[in-house]
Amino acid sequence: MNPTIYDVAKNAGVSIATVSRVLNKPQKVNEETRAAVLQAIDELGYTPKLEARTRALKESGRIGVITPFFTAPSFVQRLRGIASVLTPSDYELVIYTVDSFSRLQSYLETLPINGNLDGLIIVSLRFEDALASRLVERKLQTVLIEYPQKLLSSVEIDDIAGGKMVAEYLLKKGHRTFGFLGDSDIPEYGIHPISHRLVGFRQGLNQAGIELPEEQVYLVPYDMETTRQHTFRLLDSKTPPTAIFAATDLQAMGVLRAAHDRGLRLPEDLAVVGFDDLDMAEYVGLTTVRQHLDISGKLAVEILFTLLAEPSRPIQHVHLPLEIIERETA
């Protein structure tokens, strides 16, 4: 006989209400109790049946997307790419937003058990191998965007190569003094590609015999006004840069505003390069590194569909190319 919720409760030494909370609102259950319930579920091989039966009657599936920073422009564009492939299909898009590591952990612990998803896409979030193993063991096909994991397929870019690309581009333009502005927000559950872009930028400059002093590097909160204020500090330094690499397009907008406020000509007095190629970049004429945000979302869904059709297919790690899009600012 198939194990029931009563069997799980008995095995874990809790009430059926607690088992239900672990499955539906895991963040409201303390870690020790949640672990005991999950262990019982794994030992018994328990899977809730009601949701699966309900979904079968609808003749449509569900694809979940776990994402942080839902309102950040880069995540919106990735989701747009995901939705563009899912919308014409028979799959419903379900979005799970993450604001803490505990919430991410609870999603990864319970979503594979509930049986209410056919597949999962995880955007720019890091997690340990044990949680990846859980997804694999429970046969919830999963594709990652931006965070490589050996057990799961992924769509990735090389942020170090992107930073190096910017350095080489600006050096060819004749610049010899530089500034760097990036995002300082590093949540416990997220990734920080900015640090890799800075490493690549420094590598590119070092190959030309140029050092990037620490006082020319600012990691600041992810908003345009704070970036604008720190751009003034760069411009007022002893060796003001003739070129600034803003590691996100949103922060590049803050740099552009500061340059405008100082009456600087772009790119004659100051060159500015961003990273992402958001929709707004073309509108303001920003030179930037294009990382194909929409395409990353589309590819993730296409890989997931392939895995759903052929679960035995080998893991794929797709690397998207980066390219400098030259516009008016550099």
pLDDT at site 21: 82
> Over pLDDT 70: what percentage of the chain?
95
How many whole angstroms separate alpha carbon 141 and alpha carbon 218?
A: 40
Q: How do residues 133-176 score in pLDDT, each as one tens digit?
A: 989 998 999 999 998 899 999 999 999 999 999 999 999 999 99
pLDDT at site 172: 98
CATH superfamily of 47-156+296-320: Response regulator (3.40.50.2300)
Cis peptide before 26 (omega within 30 of 0): no
CATH superfamily of 159-290: Response regulator (3.40.50.2300)
The answer to whether the beta carbons of residues 230 and 221 sit under 8 Å apart is no
User: Which of 225, 234, 280 is CA-nearest to residue 257?
Assistant: 225
**Which one-letter DSSP state was computed for residue 161?**
H
Residue 227 has pLDDT above 90, yes or no: yes
CA-to-CA separations, 313 to 61, 91, 150, 316, in angstroms, rounded: 21, 21, 14, 9
Structure token digits, residue 160: 């170090």
Provide the pairing of β-strand 323-325 with 287-290: antiparallel
Average pLDDT over residues 226-242: 95
- The domain segmentation of the chain, as residue ranges, is 47-156+296-320, 159-290
Q: Which residues contact 1 (CB under 8 A, 6 or more apart)?
A: none
Question: Range with the lowest mean pLDDT among 34-38, 140-144, 234-238, 318-322?
Answer: 34-38
The domains spanning 47-156+296-320 and 159-290 adopt the same CATH topology: yes
Amino acid present at 291: Q
pLDDT at site 49: 64
Residue 208's CB: how many other CB atoms inside 10 A? 12
Model confidence band, residue 1 (pLDDT cutoffs 50, 70, 90): low
Q: How do residues 261-311 score in pLDDT, each as one tens digit?
A: 999 999 999 999 999 999 999 999 999 999 999 999 999 999 999 999 899
How many whole angstroms separate alpha carbon 98 and alpha carbon 112?
A: 17
